[in-house]
Amino acid sequence: MKYSHFFTLGTHRGISWAEVLEVFKLEAESTQRLDSFLLASLKNTAQLDLLFNRLAGAVKMGEIISVASEASEVAKIIVRYLEQEKFNPKAVVINVHHSKLSPRDIRMRVKEQFGGGLKFLGDMKKPSYNSATTAKALRKEGIELLIFGDAEHIYIGRTLYVQDISLWSALDYEKPHRDMKIGMLPSKLARIMLNLAGLKPDDGFWDPFCGLGTLLMQGQFLDLYSYGSDIDVNTLRMARENVEWLLKRGYVKRLKFRVFKYDIRKDPMSNKILRDIAGRGKFNAIVTEGYLGKPRTKPFSTKRQVLAQWVQVRPLYKVFLRHVSYLIDPGARVVFVVPRYRLKGSNGWYAPKLEINFKRWKPVRFNTGPLIWQHSDSIVARELVVVEKRG
């Protein structure tokens, strides 16, 4: 088979696809995306569980067990697989995501051909992306089989790993400090940003707009030295308490972080802490979400209003890119967020132009489309920019 494994991508599929490519060291051309599914051929299958657990954008990962060309073959393939494996799963989830196939029909055919003893979980009428049902089946020594494809191929896959949705919910909603005015960078997006920075365990990164410390928290899960700064000492206190909460909850075994006061508009070489950390080569990347503008409850009416806000935001990005270039070596990446604004009465987005010195910075392209994080009711969306310092 051309592909050995699959990933079920989350809501933000372009970003999730890019994250898989970076973590698993793949090229976009060697993968194929079919709606919410991503097909890949993985030559090295060691430590797949550890690599999957690094991801935030993919909710499931599994192995391709067969490929069918006709709908009539699917039930036979599933039964043959269950028989060859010589196990009797206590629970089976058959999730059908293919227009040619009926979930109810597939289940009935499998049950008839396999015989009794199969307990099915999940919805029989429609496909489900619910990771909780999959996790329940796996806990009960069961399996999930996913059926998806295109006009020519029907892929049958078995789920191996599923995302811990309760953990991600706790990280966003149960941490000690949350404040919409300071900013609410989603934990999943923070993890994706760190992964796109190409960091490995024991590397270090700096978040110069650390706010409540979401990126610093995610750095602990990836075993990264995490440095954060902000202009407000009270915000830094809350960031510190959020990171320390991870240890109290038992989510991590140790902490590797430091927060300090700093204004990005000032020369970084004037700050002793920055000089010291950079001098020891601890900034392997800069990862941050800066100021996106004043919070809004309604879309902008005109592009002129957007540009009026962008005039206030743009200078901070320009000085940010200039100053961080002094602190990292050639080849190191900078991952940051720029805003995109929804216009009233329009389903489209307006993205003001950000000037980047391409003599100093090389764009990192994943060829998965724009790296946009947005929801249907978003007023301000986030676009990820990934650049690499030139030599």
Which residue did the predictor score with more confidence, 103 or 242? Answer: 242
Which residue did the predictor score with more confidence, 87 or 301? Answer: 301
- 8 Å CB contact between 217 and 168: no
* Other beta carbons within 10 Å of 386: 23
| DSSP-derived secondary structure for 148-210 | EE-SS-EEEEEEEEE--HHHHHHHHHTSS---TTT----HHHHHHHHHHTT--TT-EEEETT-
Which residue did the predictor score with more confidence, 205 or 108? Answer: 205
d(CA 303, CA 301): 7
- 8 Å CB contact between 71 and 161: no
155 has a pLDDT exceeding 80? yes
* Other beta carbons within 10 Å of 297: 5
191 has a pLDDT exceeding 80? yes
- Predicted pLDDT at 89: 67
Q: Given the structure tokens 């970084």, which residue do they identify?
A: 268
The pLDDT confidence band at residue 183, using thresholds 50, 70 and 90, is low
Please compute the mean of the pLDDT values over residues 51-65 and round it to a whole number: 96
> 284 phi and psi, to 5 degrees?
-85, -10
d(CA 126, CA 123): 6
- Predicted pLDDT at 126: 64
Residues in the chain: 391
Alpha helices in 26-164 (DSSP H): 48-54, 74-85, 103-114, 131-139
d(CA 157, CA 5): 8
DSSP at 48 = H
- 8 Å CB contact between 341 and 350: yes
1 has a pLDDT exceeding 80? no
- Predicted pLDDT at 184: 84
3-state secondary structure of 331: coil
Lowest mean pLDDT among 37-41, 180-184, 260-264: 180-184
- 8 Å CB contact between 243 and 222: no
> Exposed, middle or buried, 34 (CB in 10 Å: 0-12/13-18/19+)?
middle
Domain 5-163, CATH: 3.30.2130.30
Which residue did the predictor score with more confidence, 119 or 128? Answer: 119
Please compute the mean of the pLDDT values over residues 24-38 and round it to a whole number: 95
- Predicted pLDDT at 212: 96
375 has a pLDDT exceeding 70? yes
The pLDDT confidence band at residue 296, using thresholds 50, 70 and 90, is confident
Residue 166: HSE in the Cβ half-sphere, 13 Å Cα cutoff: 5
- 8 Å CB contact between 120 and 94: yes
Lowest mean pLDDT among 38-42, 99-103, 198-202, 237-241: 99-103
- Predicted pLDDT at 87: 61
Residues 6+ apart with CB under 8 A from 237: none
Domain ranges for the chain = 5-163, 167-389
Residues 6+ apart with CB under 8 A from 386: 196, 197, 333, 334, 335, 363, 364, 366, 371
- Predicted pLDDT at 137: 66
Residues 6+ apart with CB under 8 A from 279: none
Structure tokens at 324: 């961080």
85 has a pLDDT exceeding 80? no
Lowest mean pLDDT among 57-71, 98-112, 144-158: 98-112
350 has a pLDDT exceeding 80? yes
The pLDDT confidence band at residue 211, using thresholds 50, 70 and 90, is very high
Q: What's the gap between Cα 278 and its chain centre? A: 28
Mean residue pLDDT of the chain comes to 90
- With CA atoms as reference, report the closest residue to 288 among 375, 369, 226, 225: 226
Q: What's the gap between Cα 206 and its chain centre? A: 19
Residues 6+ apart with CB under 8 A from 41: 2, 3, 4, 5, 30
133 has a pLDDT exceeding 90? no
- Predicted pLDDT at 86: 59
- Predicted pLDDT at 42: 95
- Predicted pLDDT at 45: 85
Q: Which class is domain 167-389? A: alpha beta
Q: Given the structure tokens 């954008």, which residue do they identify?
A: 57
Q: What's the gap between Cα 360 and its chain centre? A: 27
**In the chain, pLDDT over 70 holds for what percent of residues?**
92
User: Would 5-163 and 167-389 be classified into the same CATH topology?
Assistant: no
The pLDDT confidence band at residue 172, using thresholds 50, 70 and 90, is very high
- 8 Å CB contact between 356 and 387: yes
d(CA 38, CA 7): 5
